[in-house]
Amino acid sequence: MQRTSVRTSETSKPMISDRAFGLVALLAVLPVFFAFAVAGQPARGRAAAISAGMIIVVARFTWEQRKCIWYWMTISCFACVHTAVVLLATWQEKRYPGFALLPIAAADFAVMYRVIRFIQALFKARNRHSGGPRTFDKGDRY
């Protein structure tokens, strides 16, 4: 079986393999779950961990846009919306078991991915007329 990996646009070196990415993503969301579990809210912790995991996966799938300012603003908006939903919704173990959240997580991923691709298309059209994108490469911070 051949191992796949994502390659960066600047070099031909792979970032990390998909298996390693899965492990890193899991290790990144576990503290989120345990923070809520220790506070006595494991159902909310599960929802928070799944939300954080979906944001991480969307960022991985759209990583080629990482130097664009609009990309980080969009990821930040996703994080704010997910934080509000996790903190304001009522999460009960019986109403939202872990496996029931997975189809919602898949739909959440699809929506976030399409939003990023839509914004990317908007900026590509805009940049054709304005002379190029604003990125972090040239020292632009706005």
Tokens of 90: 């009522």
Task: Dump pLDDT digits (tens) for 88-113.
Answer: 988 877 777 777 888 999 999 999 99
Q: At residue 22, does pLDDT exceed 50?
A: yes
Could you tell me the pTM of the whole model?
Answer: 0.77
Contacts 24+ apart (CB under 8 A), 39-46: 41/91, 42/93, 43/91, 43/92, 43/93, 43/96, 44/86, 44/87, 44/91, 46/91, 46/96, 46/98, 46/101
Give 3 or 44, the one with higher predicted confidence: 44
In the chain, DSSP assigns E strands to: 5-7, 14-17
Q: Which pLDDT tens digit goes with each residue over 28-84?
A: 999 999 999 999 998 899 999 999 999 999 999 999 999 999 999 999 999 999 999
